[in-house]
Structure 1
Amino acid sequence: MHFEIYAEDIARAKKFYEDVFGWKIERWEGPMEYWNITTGKQGEPGIDGGLMKRQGGDPRADTPISTYVCTIDVSNIDEYLNQVQKHGGKVTMEKSPIRSVGWFAYCLDTEKNIFGIMQPDVNAS
């Protein structure tokens, strides 16, 4: 239904997700600093989300909001792994197959949030 990404540096996180995935991120006009994320076109698979200032500093288990793993569907996992690194992110688990499902990897964004990327491929083994 909705996801949220927490960031210490909103501008840096906004640039990372716009550059890597082509997402549209716009400031919400409400009473708090909040950025709406549009991940794709209306009527296509996927969900939209938000970007907001991280509460409590670095992501750790004892912070008010640590992290939630969101997995992003990609058409070419190798291309996206390169884009993640090119734009300041890190690959934390290299591409590996999930048999009959696809190729999967974990990455960190510029704000130390972990996220997954998956390329569907029924021939993965």
Structure 2
Amino acid sequence: MSILVHIDIPAENLEKANDFYLKLFGRKVEKVMGHVEGPDEDIGNISGSKDISSYIGVYSIEEYIEKIESLGGKALTSKMVVQGWGYLAICMDNANNIFNLWEKSLIPDSQPEWLSSSP
């Protein structure tokens, strides 16, 4: 089973974006530690991309990469370590849409509280 666990949302005004999503979903938006601030600030987006990025939680990235490739998609990266949080792989579906697979770390207390909580 998989679940949407994280979304990167580009925004020029962090306060305004946070207010919007707090009112819309009733959840606080958090800035990722290590984020570089500048004229193109975003909420939780380290890459500086201007696209919303989704992260789908799975138990095994390797298993899902096999499924993706068998369905005509492809893995654009191999499984990567996100220190202290878990693992990530960037993938493309068979219609050239990019999405991310997320596998949480099995080490207790190695992730932010919000990542392991349910909505």
Q: TM-score, normalised by structure 2?
A: 0.46
Q: Per residue, is there more strand in 1 or in 2?
A: 1
TM-score between both structures, scaled by the size of structure 1: 0.44
Give the number of the structure whose residues are more often helix, by fraction.
2
